[in-house]
Amino acid sequence: MKEVKRIGVLSVGKIFGIVGAVFGAIAGLFLALFSGALGEPFLGGNWFVQLIGLTLIYAILSFVGGVIYAALYNLVAGWVGGVQIELDDA
27-81 tens-digit pLDDT: 888 877 777 666 665 555 677 777 888 899 999 999 999 999 999 999 999 999 8
pLDDT digits (tens, 9 = 90+) for 22-36: 999 998 888 777 776
Which letter, b or e, does each residue of 66-89 get, where b requires 16 or more Cβ atoms within 10 Å of its Cβ? bbeebeebbeebeeeebeeeeeee
| Gap between the Cα atoms of 45 and 49, Å rounded | 8
Q: Strands 2-4 and 83-85: what pairing?
A: antiparallel
For the entire predicted model, the pTM comes to 0.81
| Contacts of 24 by beta carbon, 8 Å cutoff, 6+ apart | 54, 55, 56, 57, 58, 59, 62
